[in-house]
Amino acid sequence: MHKFEKLDVIKLRKYTFPITIAFIVLVALISLIFGVEVDIEFKGGTLISYSYTGDMDVNSFQSKAEEIIGTGVSITIGESISENAANNINLSVNSNAGLTAERQFDLTKKLQESFASNDITLLSSNDVPPSAGREFFLKCLVAVAFSAVVLTVYIAFRFKRIGGWSAGVTSVIALLHDAIMVYATFVIFRIPINANFIAAALTILGYSINDTIVTYDRVRENRKIYGKKLNLEELMNVSVRQTLTRSINTSVTTIAAMAVICIVALIFDVKSILSFAFPLIVGMVAGVYSSVFLAGPLWVLWNDRSKKGTKKKSKSSAVKA
Amino acid sequence: MRRVNKSAFGITALVIVIFTVLSFVGISTQYGDIKKVYIKGVEDIRWGIDIRGGVDVTFTPPEGVKATNEQMDSVKEVIVQRLVGLNITDHEVYVDYNKDRLIVRFPWKAGDESFDPEAAVNEIGETAMLTFRESYMTDPETGLWTGVTEENIILEGSDVENAQPGYDEQQGEFIVQLRLTEDGREKFSEATKRLAVTKDSISIWMDKSMISNATVQTHISEGSAVISGNFTAESAKALADKINAGALPFELVTANFSTISPTLGLGARDAMALSGAVAFIVIAIFMTYNYRLPGVVAIIALMGQVAGSIAAITGFFGFLDSFTLTIPGIAGIVMAVGMGVDANILTAERIREELYRGKTLNGAIESGFKRGFTAIFDGNLTIIFVAIILMGAFGPPDSLFAKLLSPVFFMFGPSTAGAIYSFGYTLLVGVVFNFVMGVTCSRIMVMALSKTKTFSNKWLYGGENNA
């Protein structure tokens, strides 16, 4: 019944490892060259969105806003898809001082007076002092790092029979890979890094570890069944083949569900959902890839190295999974 | 393994369906305008401010001022009183003692179109430091107190026990009547006795603006005082309220101020609801197509799981309070559903595999659930760890998980990202319900069905047709 009898993930590492490393280097280069957009949630600053109707002279809006606040502002316009709805105009200030509630209040009132015909209404505003933003970001990083440690220890404990720490560390390496892919999505599609990034990264962390656990669970079981009859490479290959249908079906189902959410978010122009759901899809694909093509071969490499020389010759023909 | 009776399918499925309907619709009675809610449904969900709009603001003392824990507590008390005074009853206020921060969150008032969040924040954070000062000496340029007026503070806000708006019929004007504390009475008595001789005045200040200045005519010893000065009925009441709400020990500065309008958020909510419904249908089609009967059972179990998440949010269960649902919270439900899908797929794949190995239907189902379980257990437990870490890191400081994890996050104050807390919560309850529904209920239903003649064909479970 297995459709993947020829699949040898250990041999494939000749291709998968270099491709993965090349891609990660590429992502690093892109972030270095083009920079990373960070949302004001993390870097501090003020972002205010207004809705308006009719025609808006963006230049005079900008200069008026700058005059009121006294520092430079950048303006972006969001055109609404539906005809009746008002358009959005977003105003962001990278000032270190930020705009306190009183100054925002003042700004809104003055803009409303100056552009009375545009029917300006406040949609949302967000003011974060840089120190608070940095602290929030740091806290997120600590949360992720702490989760990684807890997961490594738990997996090392639960998979004692198949090498413990090797299972724990390799599954966390796979997890890091997936987090990098989520990050890559944000960088490549120029989505500012925000709280959604953290939520998406954490979700992927969960899914990714789950994919790897399912594979290792099978390795653990097969080790019990076959004992030393299979060498590590065969053990891993058999286990991967047995669990791949599940991994693919689970991913296809959840990705399809996420895709629906993406499409609806696109139609309704809800960016907060889109910038969460889309990186999740990328992360899920990465999760299947990393648990099969990275964690598995890495685990074999690790355990092979630690007992060099005891490797037996292939007996795979004796075992039909 | 426990024996499962044929009728167990019907009972389990019925219980799940009833539970789902109840958790979505709830039970309430309506007599005229009075609605009594017995079981909360989707309508009673408390939406986060990212969905229904609202205000999220952090107050701190000005730079350089270090507040004591007692002062932060009194600031919190004052702010809560002011929120209640503004009729904002649905609010969250957290104190961060380490960083001297006060995090205040409140939603848009339902149905209030004219609600002005900025004005509300200004009013909440207003210092309202009330002082009674000797004489009325001011700097002609700044208008601020100087000389003896600056030096001699007769009474402070804390000397006032109670303030009430009133109407002075003799003068024909609105006033604010103060009842002083024992301490205040003595100080006021001493000052008025002294000033009545020189016919000097006492000026009353709110922060740095003078609201009233009156010449002392007689010695006042009975512990009451009157503030007069061009009040209207409204402004007299507003001043009395401010005095009652107490004076803040220091000025408050806003940091981290954000608002979101309800129109923006509700669009996101509706989009989420629609996409959730469509996504569920897509999952149902996939599961039925790929896994046949266990797929159909999985849909019932998933329905129960979603209902469980909703119930844990609305406060359906007596022991769980209702929970604020934010957009990341919805994402948490979605992710837990993904884990539910996975649990059902893992088992269904296993059953199919065992059938191909030539096992009987009964044997295949039993070992399918048994062998699938270890992976489900480990996978879901790691998610529970992540969820607990998130709740501890980004939850309110007085919650159990936050206390548990305080050694890890000690250097950080409570987070303003309540949204991620919501994600952790829905993820946690979703995964717990996955154990109940995706593992236990699915097993009971599949086993019960396999005992019936109609559903004993191996093809229905992914095997070859043996009809």
pLDDT digits 0-9 by tens, A154-169: 988 988 887 888 888 9
What is the predicted pLDDT for the residue at A315? 42
Q: Tell me, yes or no, if B357 comes closer than 8 A to chain A by beta carbon.
A: no
HEC string of chain A equals CCCCCCCCCCCCHHHHHHHHHHHHHHHHHHHHHHCCCECHHHHCEEEEEEEECCCCCHHHHHHHHHHHHCCCCEEEEECCCCCCCCEEEEEEECCCCCCCHHHHHHHHHHHHHHCHHHCCEEEEEEEECHHHHHHHHHHHHHHHHHHHHHHHHHHHHHCHHHCCHHHHHHHHHHHHHHHHHHHHHHHHCCCCECHHHHHHHHHHHHHHHHHHHHHHHHHHHHHHHHHHHCCHHHHHHHHHHHHHHHHHHHHHHHHHHHHHHHHHHHHHCCHHHHHHHHHHHHHHHHHHHHHHHHHHHHHHHHHHHHCCCCCCCCCHHHCCC
Q: What is the pLDDT of residues B86-130, one digit of tens each?
A: 777 777 787 877 778 888 888 776 555 566 767 777 777 776 667
* H/E segment holding residue B179: strand B173-180
In this predicted structure, the answer to whether residue B15 has a pLDDT above a threshold of 70 is: yes
Chain B residues near residue A240 by CB distance under 8 angstroms:
none
In this predicted structure, the answer to whether residue A49 has a pLDDT above a threshold of 60 is: yes
Question: Mean pLDDT lowest for which of B81-85, B99-103, B136-140, B367-371?
Answer: B81-85
CB-CB under 8 Å, B337 with A270: no
What is the predicted pLDDT for the residue at B100? 80
Show the domains of chain A with their CATH numbers.
13-39+132-318 (1.20.1640.10), 45-128 (3.30.70.2040)
- How far is Cα B155 from Cα B223, in angstroms, rounded to an integer? 12
Chain B residues near residue A252 by CB distance under 8 angstroms:
286
**Residue A307's pLDDT band (boundaries 50, 70, 90)?**
low
Highest-pLDDT range among A193-197, B201-205, B238-242, B348-352: B348-352
* Token pair for B377: 């257990």
Mean per-residue pLDDT, B3-24: 84
Question: Mean pLDDT lowest for which of A32-36, A181-185, A219-223?
Answer: A32-36
Beta bridge partners of B325: B47
* Token pair for A155: 């997996």
What is the predicted pLDDT for the residue at B397? 65
Q: What is the pLDDT of residues B240-263, one digit of tens each?
A: 776 766 556 677 777 777 777 766
What is the predicted pLDDT for the residue at B299? 93
CB-CB under 8 Å, A104 with B257: yes
Higher-scoring residue by pLDDT: A26, B409? A26
CB-CB under 8 Å, A195 with B328: yes
* Token pair for B196: 């009545």
Mean per-residue pLDDT, B378-391: 88
Mean per-residue pLDDT, A277-301: 89
What is the predicted pLDDT for the residue at A86? 59
Nearest CA-CA partner of B448 in B13, B17, B18 = B13
Are B186 and B156 in contact by the 8 Å Cβ rule? The answer is: no
Mean per-residue pLDDT, A123-136: 74
CB-CB under 8 Å, B427 with A257: no
In this predicted structure, the answer to whether residue A312 has a pLDDT above a threshold of 60 is: no
Q: Tell me, yes or no, if B381 comes closer than 8 A to chain A by beta carbon.
A: yes
Chain B residues near residue A321 by CB distance under 8 angstroms:
none
Chain B residues near residue A100 by CB distance under 8 angstroms:
253-255, 257
Question: Mean pLDDT lowest for which of A6-10, A81-85, A195-199?
Answer: A81-85
Higher-scoring residue by pLDDT: B160, A29? A29
Please, how many CA atoms are within 13 Å of residue B284, restricted to the half-sphere of its CB? 11
Whether the model pTM is above 0.90: no
What residue type is A301 in one-letter code? L
Higher-scoring residue by pLDDT: A233, B264? A233
Mean per-residue pLDDT, B404-423: 67
Nearby residues of A307 by Cβ (< 8 Å), 6 or more positions away? none
Are A236 and A300 in contact by the 8 Å Cβ rule? The answer is: yes
* H/E segment holding residue B230: strand B224-231
What is the predicted pLDDT for the residue at A319? 44
Of B271, B338, B345, nearest to A264 by CB-CB distance is: B271
Rounded to the nearest 5 degrees, what angle is found at the Cα of B28, between the Cα atoms of B23 and B32? 155
- How far is Cα B242 from Cα A67, in angstroms, rounded to an integer? 35
CB-CB under 8 Å, B349 with A270: no
CB-CB under 8 Å, B342 with A257: no
What is the predicted pLDDT for the residue at B303? 92
CB-CB under 8 Å, B256 with A260: no
CA distance B240 to chain A (A): 24
What is the predicted pLDDT for the residue at B411? 63
Nearby residues of B385 by Cβ (< 8 Å), 6 or more positions away? A147, A150, A151, A154
Beta bridge partners of A48: A91, A125
In this predicted structure, the answer to whether residue B165 has a pLDDT above a threshold of 80 is: yes
Q: What is the pLDDT of residues B313-348, one digit of tens each?
A: 887 777 777 787 877 787 788 888 888 998 999 899
- The predicted complex's ipTM stands at 0.77
Higher-scoring residue by pLDDT: B141, B16? B16
In this predicted structure, the answer to whether residue B429 has a pLDDT above a threshold of 90 is: yes
Q: What is the pLDDT of residues A110-125, one digit of tens each?
A: 888 888 777 787 777 7
CA distance A32 to chain B (A): 28
- How far is Cα A168 from Cα B214, in angstroms, rounded to an integer? 77
Higher-scoring residue by pLDDT: A228, B464? A228
Output the CA–CA distances (angstroms, integers) from residue A179 to A138, A290, B393, in the order listed. Answer: 16, 11, 19
* Average pLDDT value over all residues in chain B: 80
Show the domains of chain B with their CATH numbers.
8-45+261-461 (1.20.1640.10), 54-126+255-259 (3.30.70.3400), 130-242 (3.30.1360.200)
Q: Tell me, yes or no, if B144 comes closer than 8 A to chain A by beta carbon.
A: no
Best A175, A246, A251, A275 residue to mutate vs chain B (most B CBs within 10 Å): A246
Handedness of CA B20, B23, B24, B26 (dihedral sign): positive
Q: What is the pLDDT of residues B352-379, one digit of tens each?
A: 888 888 888 888 888 888 988 988 998 8
Burial of A114 (0-12, 13-18, 19+ CB in 10 A): middle
Higher-scoring residue by pLDDT: B69, B380? B380
Beta strand pairing status for B324-325 and B46-47? parallel
Q: What is the pLDDT of residues A62-116, one digit of tens each?
A: 888 888 877 777 777 765 444 445 577 777 777 565 677 777 777 888 888 888 7
Tokens 């100056």, located at residue: A114
- How far is Cα B340 from Cα B380, in angstroms, rounded to an integer? 9
Burial of A221 (0-12, 13-18, 19+ CB in 10 A): middle
Mean per-residue pLDDT, A246-255: 88
CA distance A92 to chain B (A): 13
CB-CB under 8 Å, B341 with A195: no
Beta bridge partners of A52: A87
**Residue B433's pLDDT band (boundaries 50, 70, 90)?**
very high
**Residue B160's pLDDT band (boundaries 50, 70, 90)?**
confident
Q: Measure CA A77 to chain center.
A: 27
Best B47, B116, B256 residue to mutate vs chain A (most A CBs within 10 Å): B256
The fraction of chain A above a pLDDT of 90, given in percent, is 9
